[in-house]
A and B are shown apart, each in its own frame.
Chain A
Amino acid sequence: MSDPKDFVAGIDSDQRRSPTRVVFVTRRTSAQVKVTQEDQMQTFPEVLFRAALAIELLAIALVLFSLFFNAPLEGLADPTHTPNPAKAPWYFLGLQELLHYFPPVVAGVLVPTLLILSLVVIPYFNVNIEANGLFLKDRTKRLRLFYLTALGMLAFLLAFHVYVAAVPTVLIALAMIVAAHSSPDSPSRLRRYLALKPLAYWIMTWFLFELIVLTAVGTWFRGPGWSWVLPWRS
């Protein structure tokens, strides 16, 4: 009985959840709980059943929709007769709207490339990992930087007459100003919510707004010669 044990042993068994587990914790280390035990569900059959049910409901909805609404089909393709306006598929109409203001190399090449690149780097970019409210730290410095960026961007959009893209920019900027002047302990639920939002949230929400507004304008509000039309007045 000379050398003392260099470890403590534990045993835990929960037959309904997992087979027997044995743990050895050596000296000078301590067991740290990273994952607490919580209720789980068997993938087979329970989760797979739910997935199948979701897909089944989706299929029913799509079948019903397809029974009542026909896919568009126009006349035979005619290279000598250009329709006015010639529109891309709806998910590219945001880009086509930008094409109206900027040269093709900007709207058709630079913007999509930058978009995809910035989507790819989101999880690797420190700004996006930080989950604290944007204006809770370094308030004065960040507020100054925010005003500079927002005004610069607005000036740029107005200089190129991109009023459509300026609307979401103004909306988000206003929300950010409210956030900057709200505290996480504010009695208003909305202001508490806004105050806690990190920079990544603001950028992504701005992108979402731009995406919706530009796509909607390109789809419904653009007529011959890419002029402004109202969809309810044909």
Chain B
Amino acid sequence: MSMPTNTDDVVAKVRESRVWRSVFRSGTGSSTLHRALAIQQNIFLHLFAAKVRKRMVRFSATWYLGTLTFGTFLILVITGILLMLYYHPSVPQAYADMKDLQFVVSSGLFLRNLHRWSAQLMVFLVFAHMFKVFYRGAYRTPREFNWVIGVILLVVTLLLSYTGYLLPWDQLAFWAITVGSNLSSAVPLVGGKIHFLLLGGNEVNANALLRFYVLHCVVLPLSAILFIAIHFWRIRKDGGLYVQQSEPKTQAATDSALTAKEGQ
């Protein structure tokens, strides 16, 4: 209810300009219709429903675990791209780049810390999200397939974290990947072949580093983005976030008051 300030005027003018209107198809305005259109007419936002049940927005319903998982993914993409500017996937340059990040690059150490801790947190949050969804029973019909997409995203997340683990090329990385990749040789019949395909050799070496780099920076993030998009879109298509019968509705008091007023 404040008086329109100068900034508000400018913003309004910009939003009504031809250029703005050519970009945002929904038009401006604060009506319910315009706000619904802001979702429906946007290629990214149209994955979501235009409205969400009020009780599903409360913290206790979901603990925002899915949102937070996506948040860590965003942080990882941004810090990951910045880290790529300082990183060469070759032996032993990769390790020298770690040292450069630590001592030469401005805020390089912070950048790597943020990437590393976000990655650990993302793995944790994906598991937490899965168990929360399970205990709420939110995997039930018609949401079965979105649960399966979720399991795929769990696997993609683990692979992302695992491939990233090798990139610093320190002792920790080298031996963790050696332990892990040796397991693939245990697959009956084709184990040796899988092991060779994964590492580009019989042991963890420069070829393995390059393969893990490509998987970590291109293949896996792209598949994560694809499946995240499907995961979000299916929430809308499957009828919104799952509502438990036992969860109380929030029929706001103001609402019934308004209805009563209208009825007079």
Residue positions of A touching B, CB distance < 8 A: 16-17, 38-48, 50-51, 54-55, 58-59, 62-63, 65-67, 69-79, 81-83, 86-92, 95-96, 99, 103-105, 107-109, 116, 119-120, 122-124, 128-129, 131, 201, 204, 208, 211
Q: Say yes or no: is B68 at the interface (Cβ < 8 Å to chain A).
A: yes
Chain B residue with minimal CB distance to A95?
B183
| A73 and B141 contact, CB distance less than 8 A | no
Name A63's contact: one of B54, B114, B121, B169 (CB within 8 Å). B114
Chain A residue with minimal CB distance to B34?
A44
| B113 and A66 contact, CB distance less than 8 A | yes
Name B186's contact: one of A50, A74, A104, A211 (CB within 8 Å). A104
Given A55-B67, A91-B123; A43-B51 close (CB under 8 Å): yes
Beyond A39-B251, A58-B72, A77-B91, 17 additional pairs, beta carbon < 8 A = A38-B53, A39-B252, A54-B64, A59-B71, A74-B170, A76-B95, A76-B171, A81-B171, A87-B175, A91-B127, A91-B158, A91-B161, A104-B186, A109-B186, A116-B155, A119-B154, A123-B147
Please list 26 pairs of residues, one from A and one from B, whose beta carbons are closer than 8 Å in the complex, sorted by A's number: A39-B249, A41-B51, A41-B53, A43-B39, A43-B49, A44-B35, A46-B57, A47-B48, A54-B71, A55-B71, A59-B75, A62-B114, A65-B117, A66-B110, A66-B117, A77-B204, A79-B205, A83-B171, A86-B176, A91-B123, A103-B186, A108-B186, A109-B183, A119-B130, A119-B151, A123-B148
Contacts of A75 in B (CB 8 A): 170-171
Q: Say yes or no: is B88 at the interface (Cβ < 8 Å to chain A).
A: no
Residue interface bits B128-146, CB-to-A below 8 A is 1, else 0: 0011001101011101100
Q: Say yes or no: is B250 at the interface (Cβ < 8 Å to chain A).
A: yes
- Complex: A80 Cα to B36 Cα, angstroms: 62
A-B complex: 8 closest residue pairs judged by Cβ atoms: A108-B183, A104-B186, A77-B174, A55-B71, A123-B144, A71-B116, A66-B113, A86-B175
| B151 and A120 contact, CB distance less than 8 A | yes
Contacts of B68 in A (CB 8 A): 54-55, 58
| A82 and B70 contact, CB distance less than 8 A | no
Q: What is the interface of chain A mostly: helix, strand, loop, or mixed?
A: helix
Shortest C-beta distance, A58 to chain B (Å), equals 5
- Complex: A20 Cα to B36 Cα, angstroms: 16
Chain B residue with minimal CB distance to A37?
B251
Interface centre among B32, B39, B151, B175 (most CB of A within 10 A): B175
Chain B residue with minimal CB distance to A107?
B183
Residue interface bits B109-124, CB-to-A below 8 A is 1, else 0: 1101111111011010
Given A44-B45, A59-B75; A78-B171 close (CB under 8 Å): yes
- Complex: A104 Cα to B255 Cα, angstroms: 62
Given A55-B67, A116-B155, A120-B151; A204-B134 close (CB under 8 Å): yes
Contacts of A41 in B (CB 8 A): 51-54, 57
Contacts of B51 in A (CB 8 A): 40-43
Shortest C-beta distance, A128 to chain B (Å), equals 8
Chain B residue with minimal CB distance to A99?
B183
Chain B residue with minimal CB distance to A112?
B183
Interface centre among A76, A99, A122, A204 (most CB of B within 10 A): A76
Name A55's contact: one of B74, B92, B102, B176 (CB within 8 Å). B74
Chain B residue with minimal CB distance to A75?
B171
- Complex: A62 Cα to B76 Cα, angstroms: 11
Residue interface bits B71-96, CB-to-A below 8 A is 1, else 0: 11011000000000000000110010
Residue interface bits B179-222, CB-to-A below 8 A is 1, else 0: 11011111110010000000000011100000000000000000
| B39 and A44 contact, CB distance less than 8 A | yes
Q: Say yes or no: is B12 at the interface (Cβ < 8 Å to chain A).
A: no
Shortest C-beta distance, A187 to chain B (Å), equals 20
- Complex: A72 Cα to B172 Cα, angstroms: 8
- Complex: A59 Cα to B75 Cα, angstroms: 7
Shortest C-beta distance, A4 to chain B (Å), equals 32
Shortest C-beta distance, B229 to chain A (Å), equals 16
Chain A residue with minimal CB distance to B72?
A58
Interface centre among A43, A54, A122 (most CB of B within 10 A): A43
- Complex: A95 Cα to B179 Cα, angstroms: 11
Contacts of A71 in B (CB 8 A): 112-113, 115-117
